[in-house]
Structure 1
Amino acid sequence: MTMRGARPVLIAVAHGTRSASGQVQIRELVTRVARQRPGLDVRLCYADVQRPRVGEVVDGGVVVPLLLSAGHHVRVDIADAAAGTPAVVAEPLGPDRVLEESLTRHLPAADAVVVAAAGSKDPAWRASVEQVGADFGAPVAYASGSDRKVADVVAALRRRGARRIAIAAYLLADGHFYRTLHRAGADAVTPPLSLDPAVASLVLRRYDLTMALSRL
């Protein structure tokens, strides 16, 4: 994956989505990454849903998970794909202050904020999302699963007297989970994080740090 004298390829691994708009948003994010670093070979693959899958692509380079926490896809799917190859795996994009600053920039004035994430049973994943909520001083709710659903948390805030509620969408791209947030009863929802130009710079920061630590 790396030519002699060339920088190691950046392999961006997205979750994958059936949403056409979400697919476009992720491709555009990867395009912005490539434009910020002319000459760097940047390739896109997926942990689930779409192809090519990460196991079909990785045989070297720096793997950057386009994921917001170190859950199952990072610890199992991506790690397994990189095992036995010269590839090195970067930390996922989140949690990171860049993402929190993006959410803050797009939050309108509100009486209450709910940090909304996709949902997972993975303890490490949940801990990282809960930390984001703690940083915001806001409750965390989930778009999937059986506990703390976004609509239920929004309704509880209404009962407590909140007149204007904003959802900080801790989601990278449009898709089923993101769209449910617009039906959760809040007054505003922040845009998918991949639309923020700062996230492309964050991807490159993960690449550069991994290069430095690995001495590639």
Structure 2
Amino acid sequence: MTRPALLAVSHGTGDAAGAAAISLLVQRVAERLQSPGQEPVEVHAGFVDVQEPDAPSALAAIAGPVVVVPLLLSQGFHVRVDLGRAAAARPDAVVTDPLGPDPRLAEVLAQRVAEAGADPDPSTPLVLAVAGSRDPLSLPDAEVAAALLAERIGRVVVPAYLAAREPSLAAALQTHPGAAVATYLLAHGYFFDVAARIAGSSVLTEPLLDDGEPPAPLVDLVVARYLAGVARLTARA
């Protein structure tokens, strides 16, 4: 018996490197789910903006049970409304939690901070650059993500926003001059470019996905979200 399909939905980006990195993540997740001895899983990709197919079209093209995993880092309009509405008419579809916040993301962020050569002095704050959303549920998610990273690296982590919320990244860097900036972004794209412009000469980390292999904790996380969605579908049946 075939397990439910996985529809991995990311925001979408016009940045070729960012799009390739997300595509590779989806490919590695698909490979993990096709491991010997496991039932096959169809894996599809969709987007909420910029790229095609859009999430509703991608979902409509899948026959049978499907688990929609938002490749997004917090709750927000895209998860609750865009994907929620698309799946609402399908009793055989569920939308899982987004990827964040999660300790596995903190693990990857800590790796990126180390790779960037940020000042290891634990008394020096680190600024976490978050895309930002007007959805009220996104704020506690960003704060939890900062707390998880702080616990992981043993230093103060200050969340700052690239849009929609305060403090802005520029304001946070004025308050903490010389602080390194960890980008809480899935891949290269518009918001990474904004962060790079604002950060200027400050140390700036790569996003969670760079131009190499997707970090194993991130692949693990997507697979875990899928399995949680399968459990919800099973319970619903």
CA distance in 2, matches of 1:41, 1:190: 33
The alignment partner of 1:139 has SS state of strand
TM-score between both structures, scaled by the size of structure 1? 0.89
CA contact (8 A) 2:93 2:233 kept: no
In the other structure, the counterpart of 2:68 is: 63
CA distance in 2, matches of 1:129, 1:146: 11
In the other structure, the counterpart of 1:169 is: 183
The alignment partner of 1:153 has SS state of helix
In the other structure, the counterpart of 1:190 is: 205
Aligned residues: 207
CA contact (8 A) 1:114 1:139 kept: yes
Give 5+ residue unaligned stretches, structure 2. 35-39, 151-155
CA distance in 2, matches of 1:187, 1:102: 20
Q: CA deviation at 1:146?
A: 6.1
Where does 1:99-178 land on structure 2 (aligned, <5 Å)? Answer: 99-108=105-114, 109-110=118-119, 111-135=124-148, 136=150, 137-145=156-164, 147-158=166-177, 163=178, 165-178=179-192
CA contact (8 A) 2:134 2:165 kept: no
Q: CA deviation at 1:186?
A: 5.3
Deviations 1:79-119 (A, max 9, x none): 11101112111111111000011111221342320011111
CA contact (8 A) 1:65 1:91 kept: yes
CA contact (8 A) 1:45 1:54 kept: yes
Q: What is the aligned-residue RMSD (CA, Å)?
A: 1.7
The alignment partner of 1:76 has SS state of helix
| Residue of 33, 45, 56 corresponding to 1:37 | 33
CA contact (8 A) 1:54 1:81 kept: yes
Deviations 1:116-175 (A, max 9, x none): 1111111101221022223323211111236322122112211xxxx4x22121100101
Q: CA deviation at 1:179?
A: 1.9
TM-score between both structures, scaled by the size of structure 2? 0.81
